[in-house]
């Protein structure tokens, strides 16, 4: 059968998404199409899926769009059908956007690289600090290094930030 003349069945597309991701229809509706489950049901019954969003999702998850739409496997698509889908489409989209900015030869790319390194270092430091806190709590000494009184947030008033810095033990 000529693939161009084949009828596209929305229900089968959703079933293939379930097959490759293991997601519920509620998660598919929310994460791929940005709609609720009842709206997805209406779109399935009317064969009116948003193919722009479907294609965008497939590109970000390496799911072969031809297989997704037609269900037909061939030597070129067989390997890509089994690719594990990313659990969080929003994260995949952010990673793609981040990649574009970082790879750009702009001041934004340089700034984002610096921020990513800084955030990663801060996150790693906080995780180490929390691990120390947990170990000290087990022996009854958490009060010696509680992180709650030494964390500075961007919305803290300047005077409060100065007081926090003075309380820090280096």
Q: 136, 145 in Cβ contact below 8 A?
A: yes
**Residue 95 counted as domain residue:** no
d(CA 69, CA 2): 14
d(CA 149, CA 93): 36
**Residue 12 counted as domain residue:** yes
Residue of 97, 110, 152, 169 whose CA lies nearest to 161: 152
The per-residue pLDDT for 78 is 47
Both 28 and 71 in one domain: the answer is yes
Count structural domains, the chain.
2
The per-residue pLDDT for 77 is 47
Can you read off the two tokens belonging to residue 48? 């009116």
CATH of the domain at 34: 1.10.260.40
The per-residue pLDDT for 93 is 76
Domain that holds residue 29: 3-89
Both 84 and 125 in one domain: the answer is no
**Residue 59 counted as domain residue:** yes
pTM: 0.46
**Residue 47 counted as domain residue:** yes
Which of residues 66, 89, 112 is at a domain's end?
89
The per-residue pLDDT for 108 is 93
Q: 64, 16 in Cβ contact below 8 A?
A: no
Which of residues 41, 61, 89 is at a domain's end?
89
Which of residues 54, 89, 124 is at a domain's end?
89
Which backbone phi and psi does 22 adopt, to 5 degrees?
80, 10
Give the helix/strand (H/E) hosting 106: none
Both 44 and 115 in one domain: the answer is no
pLDDT in single tens digits along all 170 residues of the chain: 344 445 678 999 999 999 888 889 999 999 899 999 999 999 999 888 888 888 888 877 778 888 888 888 765 544 444 344 445 667 777 888 888 998 898 999 999 999 988 888 888 888 877 777 777 777 766 555 555 555 666 666 777 777 766 765 54
* Sign of the torsion formed by the C-alpha atoms of 61, 64, 70 and 73: negative
């Amino acid at each position: 059968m000529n693939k161009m003349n084949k009828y596209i069945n929305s229900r089968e597309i959703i079933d293939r998404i379930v097959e490759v991701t293991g997601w519920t229809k509620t998660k598919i509706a929310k994460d791929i199409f940005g709609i609720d489950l009842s709206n997805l049901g209406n779109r399935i019954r009317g064969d009116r899926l948003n193919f722009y969003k479907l294609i965008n999702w497939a590109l970000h998850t390496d799911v072969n769009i031809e297989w997704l739409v037609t269900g037909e496997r061939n030597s070129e698509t067989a390997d890509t059908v089994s690719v594990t889908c990313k659990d969080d489409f929003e994260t995949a989209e952010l990673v793609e956007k981040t990649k574009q900015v970082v790879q750009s030869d702009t001041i934004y790319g340089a700034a984002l690289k610096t921020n990513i390194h800084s955030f990663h270092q801060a996150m790693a430091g906080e995780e180490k600090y929390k691990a120390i806190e947990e170990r000290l709590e087990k022996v009854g000494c958490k009060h010696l290094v509680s992180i709650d009184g030494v964390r500075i947030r961007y919305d803290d008033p300047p005077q409060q930030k100065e007081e926090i810095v003075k309380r820090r033990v280096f």
